[in-house]
Each structure stands twice: as C-alpha cells, then as structure tokens.
Structure 1
C-alpha cells in the first residue's frame, strides 16, 4: 500500500480539500491518520435534521473514512476547550485553524499514477531536530515551494523510511523520489542550483 501525506494550511476547508484532491488527481483510498486543529467544525449528528456547527480552537481526535473522485465519506471526532468530545459525518465548512496533517492510504489501482505531493519538494522533519529546522529555513528563504511532513507518529515514520530506505532526518523528496538530507540541500544551494527545485 502506498501512502500520501497532505498538509492543510490555516483557513482551508478540510472536507473540500480532500474532495478536490481526490477529484483532481483521481485518487481513491482512506484516511490512515490525522493530527491538527480546527477553527470551525461542521458535522452531521445522527438523527438531527441540520448539521452541527462549532467554533473555537477544536482539536481533531479522529478522522475515518474514504476518499474517491466520486466524493468523500468521512467521520470526524473532535475535542472542544472543555475537553468534551463531539463528532459525526464531516461536512463542508470545517476550517483548519493552525494546520492539519493527514496520512492517506491509496488503493493500488490509483497509487501507480498518483503524485506524492502537491509540491515538487517534500521535507520530512522530526520535531526538535536542528538540521530539519535548518533545511526548512533554507527552503523558505529561497522561496522554494514545499510540503512539510512532520514525523510525529510511527505510521508517518515508517512511510518515510519505506520511501527513502533511511531512518535519519531530515529527508528531502523531489518529484516523489528521495533527494537527500540537509547537507545535500545545502550543497545544491552553494552551487547555485537550488532554483532547479521550483
């Protein structure tokens, strides 16, 4: 099974982003993991005539279900500021607060042709890793579009290890293939060729 990491930015709609990704790239699969928070949530509770809407800083607990070009069917659970847990069928209007990171498992039929990321460059980082921080700063200073893969779970770690064959970080991928570590990125910059990553 191949995986796809998706990082959503503040203000993006969780439901619409997944629907758009599956439609544009003809992806079918399911959600393996999620971490992040929301500023607004919209979900359909069982037996209720209208969706429930909540606002505030809402921590995502789980997101389960499937994505396909025909649509998404996802169930969300989240915690509010009082640590009360809510949940139901995910609806459009669910907005990312600081960020949401998702790991998707792709069906074999679509994994062969699916791009690994929305950007050419992916940077897999461990929280607190100084060389990961330097690599991220270098990409940001040079204005190179990139996707951050934050390695905060065993499943994400194993997915990165499978792609690179390595257990050290940062790991940089270009067009889905392993490129190298911070040293390789720095050497590319010093040679004046970092623009080739755009």
Structure 2
C-alpha cells in the first residue's frame, strides 16, 4: 500500500485531477481522505440522469471511491454556507475554490468477479469478499495491505454471488473474511486479530 498526497490549486477540476494522476502513475486504489472547498460542484443523484450544479463557498465533507489508471468512481458530499449537506456521484466540473488536499492509497489490484469460474484461483490463505463502496470493506483491505498479508479480494456485485457467499458463511454483512476457506469474520474480527499478532497467523 502506497500513500499519495495531492494538493490541488484554485481552479483545478477535482475529478480530472485524480483521473490524470492515477493514469500518469498507473495506479489502482481508493480515496482515503480529503480537506478543502469548491466554488462549483457537479453531481448526479441516485436514479436520476440529470447533473445537478451548485455554486458558492462549498465545503467538502467527504470524498469516497476508487481510481484505476484513469478510470474513477467517486461520491462527493459537501456543505453550503447554511450547513446544508448534499451528495451524489461526482461529475466533471467540480472546481476548487481556495485549495483542496486529497490522500490517495494505491495498491496492487486483486479484485476478481466471483461468478467468473474461468479465472485462475489465487493460492492465498486469506480471501476477502467485499461490496463496492462499503467503508468496512475498504478498511479491511487497507488493513491487509498495510500488514502485507497475501490475500484475494472478490467483489460481490450481483444476487447470485451474494447468495453463494451467504451459503458458505451464513452471514449477510460485509466484508467477509475467509482463512483457509473457512469463514473467519468481518472487519471487527480482523481488526482484533491484528491487535493480537499483526495477522502473522494469516501468512
């Protein structure tokens, strides 16, 4: 896992800056943190194809999502001067007002689709099943990467995959961590084990 600190100057486009940086450096990873403000925000709300545009002194509350060598999927929430909070899918046209600092975390991409039986299986003892944009899933992957634990990550992105993994674990929360093909637990269990032995037992 490698941290990257981006300092965006006024008039920078938020999403294009992350796209260009991840593309030029051939990076895959997640947004870990952000502090800053915007003069213009463009977002798309769930289930609505219309892009909503906001202008003013807009403080960034959170920025979540992933980047993959120029491709990004990001969600932004922000507050206006009346402390009203809005959020949605980040679109081009979000312009920095005074400045914005972003922390990115990059790592080797190991996400595969559980329904694709043609993929060569990873021999790692640890398998992590995650949901897209799930904060606890992201934390689990960051923890595994930070302790250099070999692992296979599988994205659960359809009902068939969801039912299949539930049948193995008897749990419906995520992430789901398996050790030697036996269900171990979620993020809390992983975090507690890390406190005990830094996950050396998982190597």
User: Into which bin does the TM-score normalised by the smaller protein fall?
Assistant: 0.5 to 0.7
Mapped partners of 1:2, 1:24: distance in 2: 16
Task: Give distance in 2, aligned partners of 1:27 and 1:74.
Answer: 15
Query: Is the deviation greater in 22-31 or in 3-12?
Result: 22-31
Aligned to 2:26: 26
Residues 63 and 76 in structure 2, CA contact (< 8 A), matched pair in contact too: yes
Do the aligned partners of 2:21 and 2:70 also contact (CA within 8 Å) in 1?
no
Q: State the alpha-carbon separation in 1 of the partners of residues 49 and 101 from structure 2.
A: 31
CA RMSD of aligned residues (A): 1.1
Q: Determine if the alignment matches structure 1 residue 81 to structure 2 residue 81.
A: yes
Q: Secondary structure at the match of 2:46?
A: coil
Give the number of the structure whose alpha-carbon radius of gyration is greater. Answer: 2
- 2:61 matches 1:61: yes
**Cα distance between partner residues in 2 of 1:85 and 1:43:** 13
How do 1:88-103 and structure 2 match up within 5 A? Answer: 88-103=88-103
TM-score in terms of structure 2 length? 0.52
TM-score (norm 1): 0.54
1:12 corresponds to: 12
- What's the offset of the Cα at 1:70? 4.5
Q: Which residue of 2 aligns with 1:190?
A: none
Q: 2:107 corresponds to which residue?
A: 107
Contact 1:2 1:108 survives alignment (8 Å): no
Mapping of residues 101-140 of structure 1, within 5 Å:
101-108=101-108
Measured after TM superposition, the shift of residue 67 of structure 1 is 0.8
Residues matched between the structures, number? 109
Shift of 1:49: 2.6
Describe the SS at the equivalent of 2:16. Answer: helix
Superposed structure 1 runs of 4+ greater than 4 Å apart: none
Distance 2:46 2:62 in 1: 17
The question of whether the paired residues in 2 share the 8 Å contact of 1:75 and 1:88 is answered with yes
Q: Which ranges in structure 1 are unaligned for 5 or more consecutive residues?
A: 110-198
Residues in 1 aligned to 2:104 and 2:49: alpha-carbon distance in whole angstroms: 31
* Alpha-carbon distance, 1:68 to partner: 1.1
The 2-side partners of 1:66 and 1:7 are apart by 18
Which deviations, in whole Å up to 9, do the C-alpha atoms of 1:90-117 show, x marking residues without a partner?
A: 00000000001011111146xxxxxxxx
Q: How many angstroms does 1:78 deviate by?
A: 0.2
- CA drift of 1:16 comes to 0.6
The CA distance in 2 between the partners of 1:36 and 1:76, in whole Å, is 12
